[in-house]
């Protein structure tokens, strides 16, 4: 049966294809300048770190080759659909059927092989460059441990422990200071991903993966766990805070200190130390030495609670300690059934942990 498509439909189709191509090329050629500050929005097209830059370059090559193939195939298809569409004046006979053409078959075998080979070589080179990088003198070493659902961050050489916020120095051309990360998991498979800094690396139980970042602009970079790891996978965010050298030294000095012993908050500290809180949390300078949950020594120096779930304000902290399950359902911290008085005292104490 012959079907006559109204002319209008095919021109709509061509318009649609043109629009798609326009969007695709706009995204691809959006200029990035080295002076761009981190945007707070994860974007693989705005790399601000050496490995992310290398990946960005190879992805542009891959995308432009794919866009070229799309243009040729889509263009020929669009041309064929429009030029050879069914017309009212058609006599209904089949067009001549052509079988076998060595030239054509040779072309459509060799061109894809060469294309794939170019893509393979470019990708393999970038992988070896990124993974084979040797830490220069002055590189920072950090161990990141994925937990359901938060990130434990350790600085073994500095004796610092924190959570969900990785602080690193900026790397300058005159003084390179990349950060090399050891990735471990305490439970299930997670994936460490801060798009503007580096590619994804899986965080696997009983295995140590390695990756590195070398941010070139100070600021806060956002990332997320990129491997489904259970109920609160979406609330396993991380922040990388990149400091100038001076700021970073200042941050280290602050984090190295023990918790503040504020006489005003002693009552809260006593309640804290008398409850099961200490089984899971460490507060340096007290007998709380649990390692199951985040280290709270400098809790109030962090921007968020629950790995990016809510901002770290007095109000949210109170709601969290009262019952974390109302904020992050399924998280491993239970409702401690505190009385209002105990809750007030503990929160007053935690607020002093700057
Ligand atoms: Cu951890 Cu998803």
* Cβ contact 56:64 at 8 Å: no
pLDDT in tens, 241-275: 999 999 999 999 999 988 877 888 888 999 999 99
Q: Ligand 1: distance of its center to the CA of 239 in Å?
A: 14
Q: How far is the CA of 133 from the centre of ligand 1 (A)?
A: 27
Q: Residue 234: CA atoms inside 13 Å, Cβ hemisphere, count? A: 4
What pLDDT, on a 0 to 100 scale, did the predictor assign at position 99? Answer: 85
Q: Tokens in use for 245?
A: 């050298």
CA torsion sign, 61 to 62 to 66 to 67? negative
Around ligand 1, the residues with Cβ closer than 6 Å are 146, 149, 190, 225, 227-229, 233, 236
Q: How remote is the CA of residue 10 from the centroid of ligand 1, in Å? A: 45
Q: Work out the pLDDT band at 38, boundaries 50, 70, 90.
A: low
The CA distance from 75 to 99, in Å, is: 24
Is residue 289 left, alpha or beta, with left meaning phi > 0 and alpha meaning psi from -120 to 50? alpha
Q: Which atom of ligand 1 is nearest to the CA of 226?
A: 2
Ligand 1 centroid to Cα of residue 152, in Å, is 13
Closest CA to 254 of 155, 176, 340, 327: 155
Mean pLDDT (the chain, rounded): 88
Can you tell me which atom of ligand 1 is nearest the CA of 224? 2
Atom of ligand 1 nearest to the CA of 189: 1
The whole-model pTM stands at 0.82
How many Å lie between the centroid of ligand 1 and the Cα of residue 42? 17
Instruction: Please state whether the peptide bond connecting residue 300 to the residue before it is cis, i.e. omega within 30 degrees of 0.
Output: no
Helices 314-322, 340-350: inter-axial angle, 10-degree rounding = 130
Strand-pair category, 160-163 with 150-155: antiparallel
pLDDT range class, residue 1, cuts 50, 70, 90: very low
Q: Whose CA is nearest to atom 1 of ligand 1?
A: 190
The tokens describing 207, both together, are 């295995």
User: Exposed, middle or buried, 4 (CB in 10 Å: 0-12/13-18/19+)?
Assistant: exposed
How far does the centroid of ligand 1 lie from the alpha carbon of residue 272, in Å? Answer: 29
The closest-lying atom of ligand 1 relative to the alpha carbon of residue 146 is 1
Q: Give the ligand 1 atom nearest the CA of 148.
A: 1
Report which secondary-structure segment, H or E, holds 141.
Answer: strand 140-147
Q: Is the pLDDT of residue 149 over 90?
A: yes
CA of 232 to the centre of ligand 1 (A): 8
For the chain, percent helix, then strand, then coil, each to nearest 5? 40, 20, 40
pLDDT above 70 as % of the chain: 88
Asked whether residue 75 carries a pLDDT value surpassing 90, the answer given is yes
- The ligand 1 atom at the shortest distance from the C-alpha of residue 188 is 1
Q: How far apart are CA 299 and CA 352, in angstroms?
A: 9
pLDDT digits (tens, 9 = 90+) for 51-67: 999 999 999 999 999 99
DSSP assignment, residue 295? Answer: -
Instruction: Name residue 223's beta-bridge partners.
Output: 238
């Amino acid at each position: 049966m012959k079907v006559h498509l109204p002319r209008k439909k095919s021109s709509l189709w061509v318009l649609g294809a043109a629009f798609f191509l326009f969007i695709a090329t706009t995204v691809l050629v959006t200029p990035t300048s080295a002076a761009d500050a981190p945007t707070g929005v994860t974007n693989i097209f705005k790399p601000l770190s050496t490995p992310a830059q290398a990946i960005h370059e190879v992805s542009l090559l891959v995308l432009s080759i794919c866009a070229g193939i799309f243009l040729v195939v889509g263009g020929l298809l669009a041309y064929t659909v429009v030029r050879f569409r069914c017309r009212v004046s058609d006599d209904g006979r089949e067009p001549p059927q052509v079988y076998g053409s060595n030239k054509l078959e040779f072309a459509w075998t060799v061109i894809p092989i060469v294309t794939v080979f170019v893509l393979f070589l470019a990708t393999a080179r970038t992988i070896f460059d990124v993974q084979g990088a040797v830490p220069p003198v002055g590189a920072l070493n950090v161990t990141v441990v994925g937990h359901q659902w938060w990130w434990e961050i350790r600085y073994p050489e500095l004796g610092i422990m924190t959570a969900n916020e990785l602080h690193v120095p900026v790397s300058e051309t005159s003084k390179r200071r990349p950060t090399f990360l050891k990735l471990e998991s305490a439970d299930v498979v997670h994936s460490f991903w801060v798009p503007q800094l580096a590619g994804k690396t899986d965080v696997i139980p009983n295995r140590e993966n390695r990756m590195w970042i070398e941010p070139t602009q100070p600021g806060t970079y956002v990332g997320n766990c990129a491997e489904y790891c259970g109920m609160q996978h979406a609330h396993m965010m991380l922040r990388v805070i990149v400091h100038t050298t001076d700021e970073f030294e200042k941050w280290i000095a602050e984090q190295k200190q023990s918790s503040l012993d504020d006489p005003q908050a002693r009552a809260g500290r006593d309640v804290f130390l008398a409850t099961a809180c200490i089984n899971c949390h460490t507060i340096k300078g007290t007998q709380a030495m649990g390692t199951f949950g985040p280290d709270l020594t400098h809790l109030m120096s962090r921007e968020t609670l629950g790995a990016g779930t809510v901002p770290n304000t007095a109000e949210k902290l109170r709601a969290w300690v009262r019952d974390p399950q109302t904020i992050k359902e399924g998280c491993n911290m239970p409702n401690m059934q505190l009385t209002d008085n105990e809750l007030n005292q503990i929160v007053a104490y935690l607020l002093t942990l700057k």
